[in-house]
Chain A
Amino acid sequence: MNMVRFLIRRIITGILVLWLVATGTFFLFFAAIPVQSVARNLAGRAASPAVINQVITYYGLNKPLIVQYGHFLDKLVRGNLGQSFLTQEAVTTIIKQDLPPTISVVIGGVLLWLIVGLAVGILSATRARSLFDRFATVGVLAGVSAPTFVVGELLIIFVFVQLNDAGISFIQTGYAPITSGVVPWLGSMILPWVTLAIVQAAVYTRLSRGSLLDTLGEDYIRTARSKGLTERRVLYRHAVRSAMTPVVSQLGIDVGALLGGVLVVEQVFSLHGLGYQIVNAIPSGDQPVVIGLVLLAAAFVVAANIIVDMSYALLDPRVRIS
């Protein structure tokens, strides 16, 4: 019961945050950009003043801001994100179209960085001070220090170009939909995944190593050992589980902030996903698309946070949700 009440309360605050973000974005774009320049963008550089005025009336840009805002909220509540100023497509359609590359990058990237990060972290912690641990630690700092796009560019030079020069064309840039076959899809996804993994796995290695080392020093681990449990069981059932708390909270933050990283990755590897869409929508003044995508990203953050908070209770038996 507690869980349900907790969930309801979090969803309500989540909606509140989304409303704040929606309002912030709306006013940032509609209030800060002069109507004339928006209309000029839409109508084209050569448009006559008459055409520009027509555009302004057509999109209702001449109505008072507060009326436009009410209209916007009204549509939003009914799940309508509006239409693109440029292509007249519904924003929801655009999102559906551009979601596959982004989702592919995100899911594969998160899985890869979690697997690599946790594996290296756990190995380092159980073999603290070993040669492996030393190397891992230096590797971690190098990864933490590297900006995403630099890693991506270096991978393109040292992997993509080299392989293609050698006549191996498995790895490609640009997105190959999974419907066109798994192999081309993998080929287009591997470098983006590796890029995200190099940048992010480092953080997780560091976190899981530190947290696991701390946990292994706890009394209940000694108790578990003295009960005669195998070291394996002590490590994976008792220690790793509760050592994951900081890892999970970091994952919540990172998945939320991932849109930024994905945007860069999509740019480096020329994948036409949501990030690519927003980079193009902002300078062309396509406000409905921008607001729709920002809201989508914010919804991700909110959802990720709720899931993270709930998983604390699942991971660490000492944590109670009330």
Chain B
Amino acid sequence: MSVTELQFQAAAVGDAPVAAIQGRSQWQLTWRRLRSDKVAIASVGVIILMIAFALAAPLIAAITGHPVDQAYPTTGQNSFGNPVGPGVHGFLLGTDQIGRDLLVRIAYGARISLFVGLLTTALATIAGVTLGLVAGYFGGVVDAILARFFDAALAFPFIILALALASVFRPSLTIVIGVISFFSWAGISRIVRGQTLSLKEKEYIEAAKSLGAGPMRIMFIDILPNLLGPVLVLATLYIPTAVTFEATLSFLGIGIPEPAPSWGNILSEAQQFYQVAWWYIVFPALALLITTLAFNLLGDGIRDAIDPRTERIFAGSKATRKRGRRKRGQLSLDQAILVGQQDGQVTDLPITNAGGDVTS
């Protein structure tokens, strides 16, 4: 080994720690924790499979040779005119009441259900974050008006509004998306508002102000990045809620209109056939449950990864053993979300806090 080689290696060793102790950003840390959470990774896998299933719907239709709206009265129905079971006449999951291939319909249903779930969550998140930031940052009258508006919206049962809108206009994809988004933004907005209230008092915001930053810059560039964690968790957990909303609306006949299949309207029609065709209910129900469960598990996983202080439900017991007392006034994400949800009440609810933090 030559001297130069040694020198070279020494130099490399000398360099190495520089790379090794390179600071990890919050997001890198989160990603590392998330990666070690097997359940969360498995959920991602399930979600990807479900999306692939939805995207492959035309392919599935082509392979089975059963177009989505094509009824097969002779092969797809038995002599009583009822649906045929799984595996009969090449219908892998059976047929529905007019002899359409259930597998193909569930695949096309996945497209609508996932599309509605993702789009409404995106709309609700954008609206919720914007309004929450505005209410929290400006406070005062703006905040009070938004809070009142929200109280009235909460007191108005959402299914009834959907029923009303559907009777005034015709049920359609647009109405479904509108109704679900309208009833979802407020939850996000409350939490963002609560966090903004405390963040805007921080010194770095004062520093930004003294440098002449305007409200837009402070809200969206200085405050927003600090809220991305909770917002990401909430958004992930809203997706299954939105999918469920859509299914419920379709079930009540005010969602996605026939003949376009969604999991909700398949289940709605299936309801009358519970005595003769269990598969007609069980398979779409399974698709729905697997999807919502996967998103819920992923949301939980992301929350645990972002805030390691919250209890890890699945990722081993070490964290739970270590959970000690928190510093007073420090809230875990779970609690922050809870407080955020109660926040609208807390502001007009004059609870004085004699003994310290109610939530901790």
Contact = CB atoms under 8 A, between A and B. Distances in A.
Interface string A285-322: 10000100110011001100100010011001111111
B124 interface: no
A316 B281 contact: no
A142 B289 contact: yes
Contacts of A312: 351
Nearest to B268: A149
A180 interface: no
B152 A157 contact: no
Contacts of B164: 25, 28-29, 282, 290
A157 B167 contact: no
Interface string A215-255: 00111000000000000000000000000011001000100
A146 B252 CA distance: 16
B320 A129 contact: yes
B274 A298 contact: no
Contacts of B345: 249, 305, 309
Contacts of A187: none
Given A149-B251, A153-B270, A282-B167, A260 B155 contact: no
A260 B158 contact: yes
A259 B121 CA distance: 24
A45 B291 CA distance: 44
Interface string B251-284: 1100000000000000100110011001001100
B353 A147 contact: no
Interface in B151-172: 151-152, 154-161, 163-164, 166-168
Contacts of A268: 271
A290 B325 CA distance: 51
Interface stretch (B6-14, B132-140, B293-301): B293-301
Contacts of B359: 245-246
Contact of A129 (B240, B278, B317, B334): B317
B347 interface: no
Interface of A: 6, 13, 17-18, 20-21, 24-25, 28-29, 32-33, 128-129, 137, 141-142, 144-150, 153-154, 156-157, 161, 210, 213-214, 217-219, 245-246, 249, 253, 256-257, 259-260, 263-264, 267-268, 278-279, 282-283, 285, 290, 293-294, 297-298, 301-302, 305, 309, 312-313, 316-322
Interface of B: 151-152, 154-161, 163-164, 166-168, 240, 244, 247-248, 251-252, 267, 270-271, 274-275, 278, 281-282, 285, 288-289, 292-293, 295-297, 300, 311, 313-314, 317, 320, 323-325, 334-335, 338, 341-342, 345, 348-356, 358-360
